[in-house]
Amino acid sequence: MGIFIGVIIVLFVLGSMMALKPNGIDQRLDKLRMTARRLQLNPKLVACPDWIKGKDNEYGRGMMGQYCLVLDDTQLPHTRYQVIDGQWRPDSSFVDTTRDTTKLSIPSAIRSNYGHADTTVKKTNFSLDKVPLDLPVSIEPFIKGLWTKANSIIIYWEDIAYVRPLSNPAYHHSLIEKDLLALKENLEKWAIEVQKT
């Protein structure tokens, strides 16, 4: 009887320890985000912005990975892009082009007490319009949006779908760094293109 009770206690302790261990997808996601952090892509899990199609293809639904590359000594215009048919397309709801030809108002900017946007910025020429994503095939289907502001270029993507076997059967942990380096290289290239305007 004492041996039986000892076995039950050992099984209980082992079961508790196994319950604390993260599942395989969480471990893959952790490795992806730690590699991104090491490459200075500053990953965060955020609520899906209302201008991006998230869960169930609905705007602003679910959670999404936000990877931000900070570019020192760089000034980027405020622009937002969505992925449509594998190309960057400007988010038309982001700007109000009806006011004049040299300035634009940003509806998402902080509003004053009178309901008008506090800031206007120089009108942006959306230079990435219709530019193909040109990312590794393991990342490209999960990219949802791009936002440039101040000295940052931010990409929104479903990083959890990248590590899930069902949505990315070609996933292999040895490709993480290569894929993220390609993403970082493209972010730098897109920042240069946007800065030319």
pLDDT in tens, 150-181: 899 999 999 999 999 899 888 888 999 999 99
Strand 87-90 to strand 152-157: parallel, antiparallel, or no bridges (unpaired)? unpaired
Beta bridge partners of 154: 68, 147
- Distance separating alpha carbons of residues 29 and 14, to the nearest angstrom: 25
pLDDT of residue 83: 93
**Helix H or strand E segment including 191:** helix 176-195
The token pair that represents 162 in the structure block: 């990248």
- Note whether 46 and 136 are within 8 A (CB): no
- Distance separating alpha carbons of residues 157 and 133, to the nearest angstrom: 13
Q: Which residues neighbour 27 within 8 Å (Cβ) at sequence distance 6 or greater?
A: none
Burial class (CB in 10 A: 0-12, 13-18, 19+), 16: exposed
Q: What is the pLDDT of residues 93-114, one digit of tens each?
A: 765 545 554 444 455 444 444 4
Q: Which stretches of the chain score pLDDT less than 70?
A: 17-22, 94-125, 197
pLDDT of residue 95: 58
Residue 145: name the closest of 74, 73, 89 by CA. Answer: 89
Beta bridge partners of 76: 150
pLDDT of residue 183: 96
